[in-house]
Amino acid sequence: MTLRTTPRPATRTPVAALDYEIAQEQATALGRLGRALEAALAALAEHDRAAPAKSATVRRQLLAEAGDALWCFIVQREACGLRDPRPVLRDYRVPAEVQNRMGIFTGRREGRR
């Protein structure tokens, strides 16, 4: 049995190569931001499980981080042409509290400019 691959065009234009690289970068960023959202949501859920009434300040910070991670992920998805945020909210099981914090910036955050 012989496997046949799709032949590549003999002449790859610089524009096509650039488009390919841009698509790769978009996919990489989307994956990284998706993992960041998962981590932020997991940290918030773990905090709520471990100490539901303890340290409101820590919870507010975790909530802000989750809202920021959600916002970054949604913006990157839109940059990739994926306009509907409902699948993200459903598939990642994003709490309404985090959805309401999406895009709210309260001053300068560490590590961001």
Q: Where are the domains of the chain?
A: 19-101
Task: Please give the Cα distance from 9 to 42 (Å, whole number).
Answer: 45
Check residue 61 and give its pLDDT: 93
Phi, psi of 58 (to 5 degrees): -65, -40
How many CB atoms lie under 10 A from the CB of residue 94?
A: 22
Task: Please give the Cα distance from 41 to 100 (Å, whole number).
Answer: 14
Indicate whether this model's pTM tops 0.85: no
Q: What is the pLDDT of residues 65-113, one digit of tens each?
A: 999 999 999 999 999 999 999 999 999 999 999 999 998 887 655 555 4
How many CB atoms lie under 10 A from the CB of residue 47?
A: 17
Check residue 96 and give its pLDDT: 96
Structure-block tokens of residue 31: 């994956």
